Structure 1
Amino acid sequence: MTEPLFTLDELHKAADFVHARMPPTPQYAWPLLAEAIGTETWVKHENHTPTGAFKIRGAHTFIDWLKRTQPDCPGIVTATRGNHGQGQALAARAAGMVARVYVPEGNSVEKNAAMRAFGAELIVHGADFDAARQEAQRVAKAEGLAFVPPYHRELVRGVATYALELFTALPDLHTVYVPIGCGSGICGTIAARDALGLSTRIVGVVSENADCVLRSMAAGDYVETETARTFADGIAVRVPVPEAFDIYARGAERIVTVSDAEVAEAIRLYYRATHNLAEGAGAAALAALMADRAIMAGKRVGVILCGGNIDGDWFETVLSGGVPQV
């Protein structure tokens, strides 16, 4: 058995730090979800954070670490599809730092507006997230700013606080479904489970249109896909983050794919059953559970609703029975 990524004390200290800046999010078992799926389904509502997504947790702990270790650093540069950028902008600006955020062309209009509102200097660059990330890294080095990577130990320590909350409240969950983009969410969930010594199974969820994780696991090496065209933009990545991949490849029971049509149906179910908004990545875990309903029947299961920041026109399309095209 491998050593847990964090000790329980490290996670409790992160939770104390995060909770001084935002309250814990709730986890609810919605009866209409249980009725629709046939299993007791607990939703971890990360759509209820100050930025509408889980990323703010890791932003708080990362920026705190940065201020302590590099007190003279004037600011950060990062790349995002939206939720990571909102969190980093909020935390960096609160610490008196510049926040320069790169997004790809065609990025969510409403997420872009939210990042600017949180104080980000927003720059559009490249056709997808990975191109924006490469430019952000170049600029950070050229201008003496700190690059915020998609995976960093201090970032994951903050993200893991949502799973600490969930597992503390519900230590007997059979399985938890977690979406995988760059991997901080699933790594944080694995870390909290292991620190608490629980036996909960963790299932990672990726889009069938952005399946670099599955391809990499099959190949035994990191595989980059040519595109990642899914309206579940939070999981639209073309190549796994190696540090994160090494953790969830060992710590997850399995990785499954979902289609955009399945994600859209999960968004509709969330709205009908809970009247919560879920963005594409936020509904991916529920979509996977819906596909697994036969093997999960009668079990106590958790799903991570990692964000609710869906653009209005996409939500209109989904509610009318369609699937947003990208």
Structure 2
Amino acid sequence: MFQRDSLEQARTIVRATFAPTPQQMWPLLNQRLGANVWVKHENHTPVGAFKLRGGLVYFEGLRRREPDCKGVVTATRGNHGQSIGFAAARAGLSATIVVPRGNSVEKNAAMRALGVELIEHGDDFQASREHAQRLAGEQGWHMVPSFHPDLVRGVATYWIEFFEAVQPEVVFVPIGQGSGICACVAARAFTGARTRIVGVVSAHATAYLDSFRAGRVIESPVTTKLADGMACRLPDGEALEVILREVDDVVAVSDDEVAQAMRALFADTHNVAEGAGAASLAAASQQQSRWLGRKIGVVLTGANVDSAVFERVLGGQSN
């Protein structure tokens, strides 16, 4: 996933579908954090989140690996599912998406609008993933994982865009299943950036933080009510290897901190962020005193928050 030619190929695939997303420095955010804050706007992709890049590259490879594939299945809390639905439709493949019960209403609707068959199963992402794996075996479908080198290469294209335009001293990277932060590592090597990478987990879903500290995969419970894109119970072993080798630190942000960051992004930039989409800014705010007066990078990874949830957040609640 770190080879230059494969990353260049990924960039060609992604750019055939949509243009690079903007990176913007907002004066009010600068004032708020006392730093030069560059925001990478992955909320501006055709599905409102960064995951689409990975799906496009994955299906390009799938066509070569499995030319007779007729259908795919995967599990998601939403943005990965939209990515797979979008890319599968372009490839002429049927897609079945498994989500946990009580998943985001509007993310579910967005996936259905892309033509997927949506199945609600289990109380968390891990249970949904295990059900998707069973369906793949029973139906003969291809199981799209949540972490794969092709997904990482696709996601790396946004980090390459960011590092080629801006090379901040540090970037704060939300961690779900690990494709985003591993992509950041790949792009840093590709561009030669000397940026520090700080991973961000939910304080209510600390599997990757616990695993980072222990140096091995550790399963941890998930209780976050707001950062569903970071609701990981069981880390991916391959992703953890990259994180242990290349990432400078991992920190945790609470739902209250995420909610405050969502409010700040809306007030200072008038961009909507879902919970995981605001986690990067939440971490930067948590470490504000360390980075005063310096150039930092945050990523608004997605904007797909239910209207009712966002209304409560803007009203001062965190769930």
TM category (shorter chain) comes to over 0.9
Matched residue pairs, number?
A: 319
Give the TM-score taking structure 1 as reference length: 0.96
* Equivalence for 1:43: 39
* Equivalence for 2:252: 257
Structure 2: distance between partners of 1:249 and 1:147: 27
Q: In the TM superposition, what is the alpha-carbon distance from 1:113 to its structure 2 partner?
A: 0.2
Structure 1: distance between partners of 2:2 and 2:214: 29
* Equivalence for 1:186: 181
Question: Which one-letter code corresponds to 1:9 in the other structure?
Answer: D
> Which 5+ residue runs of structure 2 have no aligned equivalent?
none
* Equivalence for 1:299: 294
Structure 1: distance between partners of 2:222 and 2:298: 27
Question: Which one-letter code corresponds to 2:110 in the other structure?
Answer: A
Q: In the TM superposition, what is the alpha-carbon distance from 1:214 to its structure 2 partner?
A: 1.5
Question: Which one-letter code corresponds to 1:307 in the other structure?
Answer: G
- 1:201-257: per-residue Cα shift (whole Å, max 9, x none)? 010000000001111123332111233433100001111111111111221110000
- 1:61-83: per-residue Cα shift (whole Å, max 9, x none)? 00110011101000110000000
* Equivalence for 2:235: 240
* Equivalence for 2:78: 82
* Equivalence for 1:98: 94
Question: Which one-letter code corresponds to 1:75 in the other structure?
Answer: G
Matching residue within 169, 173, 177 for 2:168: 173
Question: Which one-letter code corresponds to 1:116 in the other structure?
Answer: R
Q: In the TM superposition, what is the alpha-carbon distance from 1:198 to its structure 2 partner?
A: 1.8
Q: In the TM superposition, what is the alpha-carbon distance from 1:112 to its structure 2 partner?
A: 0.1
* Equivalence for 2:285: 290
Matching residue within 31, 48, 52 for 2:48: 52
Which has the larger displacement, 113-122 or 223-232?
223-232
Structure 2: distance between partners of 1:321 and 1:229: 17
- The list of structure 1 runs, each at least 4 consecutive aligned residues, that deviate by more than 6 angstroms after superposition, is none
- 1:167-215: per-residue Cα shift (whole Å, max 9, x none)? 0111x31001110000100110110001222211010000000001111
For residue 262 of structure 1, give the secondary structure of its aligned residue in structure 2.
Answer: helix
For residue 23 of structure 1, give the secondary structure of its aligned residue in structure 2.
Answer: coil
Structure 2: distance between partners of 1:7 and 1:78: 26
Sequence identity percentage: 52
* Equivalence for 1:272: 267
Output the aligned Cα RMSD: 0.9
For residue 88 of structure 1, give the secondary structure of its aligned residue in structure 2.
Answer: helix
Give the TM-score taking structure 2 as reference length: 0.98
Question: Which one-letter code corresponds to 1:291 in the other structure?
Answer: Q
Structure 1: distance between partners of 2:93 and 2:297: 37
For residue 123 of structure 1, give the secondary structure of its aligned residue in structure 2.
Answer: strand
Structure 2: distance between partners of 1:61 and 1:228: 32
Question: Which one-letter code corresponds to 1:278 in the other structure?
Answer: A
* Equivalence for 1:146: 142
For residue 77 of structure 1, give the secondary structure of its aligned residue in structure 2.
Answer: strand
* Equivalence for 1:312: 307
Structure 2: distance between partners of 1:227 and 1:173: 32
Alignment of 1:148-227 (within 5 A): 148-170=144-166, 172-227=167-222
Structure 2: distance between partners of 1:93 and 1:281: 26
For residue 119 of structure 1, give the secondary structure of its aligned residue in structure 2.
Answer: coil
For residue 281 of structure 1, give the secondary structure of its aligned residue in structure 2.
Answer: helix
- 1:93-135: per-residue Cα shift (whole Å, max 9, x none)? 1111010000001000000000000111000000000000001
